[in-house]
Structure 1
Amino acid sequence: MMGVMQGFALILGIIGAGYLASRFGVVKGDQRLVLNRVAFYVATPALLFVVLQRSDPAVIVSPVILITGLAAVVVAGIYVVVSRLWFRRNLASTTLGATSAGYVNSNNLGLPVAIYILGDAAYVAPLILLQVVVFAPLILAILESTRGNQRGAVVALGRAARNPIIVASMLGLLVALLDLRVPEIFLNPIEMIGDASIPMVLLSFGISLHGQRVLQAGADRPAVLVASGIKLLVMPALTWVLCLAFGLNAHETFVATTIAALPTAQNVYNYAATYRRAETQVRDTVFLTTFASLPVIAAIAWLLAA
């Protein structure tokens, strides 16, 4: 559990540094968007290329990842249904809310959880693969379509496919599939740039908190509460039920349920900030789930680890 605490402390420390940078006027207002744009178009593609070119694509068909992926799709659908019945939002806000409910923090929190609770970082790599190769193109295509593109979803999907995050992910996957070795002279600078991705997103996230209160009264509050509740409670519970239904063993059930309890990924906030859609809604959801996921993960470890 100490490793998970260290992972949370790391994330919150960088968010706190961003908040202080804004509090003392080092960064003001929308200047934080420079961090988001550099992260989105440069650093995150580098990070994903590095992670995926080292992965084993075969493990994406493991029962744990298939169950977790299915649960993510189902809870996203639940969010859309609840949203339609309770609080109608535009396409971008609904998409980002559904993404917040099912897109887990598989990197900077998923890795310490995998190492220190699950005992193997290999459990997380295929989830990263699934999210960036399957889920991200669909999310980005929808967000592209909200920019006023009148030529249809196919064109929007084509534009999303040219997005640097998707291009870098596909290149990394191709390198892994072909079992190629990238020369260190090329890989080292890519790794260094990729290492900056998560800190930049977290700093921007912290900057956005200055002058704002989480869960302010308004149209975003129901969306935040629903997405957070689905992410923290419904997704792990649904994953546990699916594991039992599909006959996964005790350890696989523990792994899948723990992964499902991870908080909403900061990448979702990066998407929202880059496209200037539902930023406050996503920011609050990431904030709440990051804090509240720790006791949920601890409870799962206590109940299922044995």
Structure 2
Amino acid sequence: MEGILLGFAVVAVLMTTGAVTAAWRPRRAEVIQQGATPLVYYITNPCLMIILVADTDVRVVAGLFAPLALAIALLTGLCFALFGLLARRAKRDIAVGAMASSYVNAGNIGAPVALYMVGSTAPVVAVLLAQLLVLAPLYLVIFGLIASADGDDVSGSSRGRTILRSLFNPVTLGVLVGSVISLVGEVPPAFLWQPITMIGEASIPLMLIIFGMALWKEKPFRSREHLAESLVSTLCKAAVMPLIAWVLAGPIFGLSGTDLLGVVAMAALPTAQNVYIFGLQHGMPTSVPKDVIFASSFLALPVTLLAAWLLTM
């Protein structure tokens, strides 16, 4: 329980730091946000992925649990996409809303939650592999194609370049490098590994501070135009995704005990700040991700505690 509370407290303090900075020095905060966003996207986040994945046995977690995490996320995203199609929302709103509904904050909160609730980081690594090797490239390709279609150049060659650029984005490359290191079983020399580790460890606080600044600048749930999308995406993230996780992992795949709890707990995690960073970097609407990240950060703790209580009775 202490580890769960610690993970959520870290997020709250760092987001508050960003919000206080934006309130105290709004112009400075805007400059910081504009400079730090590409820094996180191109440098610190890929290094974080390298050190996280390299420190695990990808052979173990890539069996049942990674495909299961992928199926849970895809089904949840499809639930929001169905709403978006029925409500005749714009392609950009559907794409970013689906990602906000299904892309969890495994890299920060997931590790302490998995460790203290399940006693192993395997569930969180499985989610990371599913998200960073499949989900992130998938959504980035979709974002890129939408942005390309809305621009002047929509030729086949332009779309091909967009897909390749999205597939080989910095985050995915970081996961691939980390996977190779894990499979080889030996990290690079210390004079290389230590700087990579230091850069990677800077990613999470930077992401959270950037998001805190964004929250102060544009308060959550203020956009009436996207209020319905924000509410539906929050419902998908906080309630639908854990329920899908329980149905797939329990009755369908027959998991029980700590294995089942680990899968459900990972699905109950809040939306990752990466969704905001990815959307911002690709010119997608960001009001829905901000709303869902904010709301799910508060709802995740009671949902996680409820899941732990129900599955350990």
TM-score range, shorter chain: over 0.9
1:277 Cα deviation (Å)?
1.4
What pairs up with 1:81-230 in 2 under 5 angstroms? Answer: 81-90=82-91, 92-145=92-145, 146-147=147-148, 148=151, 150-152=154-156, 153-230=159-236
Q: 1:274 aligns to what?
A: 281
1:158 Cα deviation (Å)?
0.6
Aligned counterpart for 1:299 among listed residues 268, 284, 306: 306
Aligned counterpart for 2:238 among listed residues 225, 229, 232: 232
8 Å contact from structure 1 (residues 33, 273) kept in 2:
no
C-alpha separation between the residues in 1 aligned to 2:309 and 2:88? 36
Mapped pair 1:257 → 2:258:
no
1:261-288 CA distance string (max 9 Å, x none): 1111111111112223111211111010
C-alpha separation between the residues in 1 aligned to 2:155 and 2:166? 14
8 Å contact from structure 1 (residues 59, 126) kept in 2:
no
Instruction: For structure 1, list consecutive stretches of 5 or more residues without a partner in the other structure.
Output: none
C-alpha separation between the residues in 1 aligned to 2:88 and 2:34? 28
C-alpha separation between the residues in 2 aligned to 1:267 and 1:97? 13
What's the TM-score, normalizing by structure 2? 0.92
SS in 1 for 2:220: coil
Letter in 2 for 1:42: I
Q: 2:295 aligns to what?
A: 288
Residues 166 and 279 of structure 1: is their aligned pair in 2 closer, same or farther, counting only changes over 3 Å? same
Identity among equivalent positions (%) equals 29
Residues 287 and 108 of structure 1: is their aligned pair in 2 closer, same or farther, counting only changes over 3 Å? same
Q: 2:7 aligns to what?
A: 7
Letter in 2 for 1:43: T
C-alpha separation between the residues in 2 aligned to 1:215 and 1:181? 45
1:31 Cα deviation (Å)?
4.1
SS in 2 for 1:219: helix
SS in 1 for 2:298: helix
Letter in 2 for 1:57: V
Identify which range, 259-268 or 269-278, moves more after superposition.
269-278
8 Å contact from structure 2 (residues 22, 217) kept in 1:
no
1:87 Cα deviation (Å)?
4.7
RMSD between superposed Cα atoms in Å: 1.7
Letter in 1 for 2:267: A
Mapped pair 1:16 → 2:16:
yes
1:119-150 CA distance string (max 9 Å, x none): 11222112211211111111111222214352
Spell out structure 1 runs of 4+ moving beyond 4 A.
Answer: none
Instruction: For structure 2, list consecutive stretches of 5 or more residues without a partner in the other structure.
Output: none
What pairs up with 1:50-61 in 2 under 5 angstroms? Answer: 50-61=51-62
1:50-72 CA distance string (max 9 Å, x none): 11222212123343333222111
C-alpha separation between the residues in 1 aligned to 2:198 and 2:123? 24
C-alpha separation between the residues in 1 aligned to 2:155 and 2:31? 30
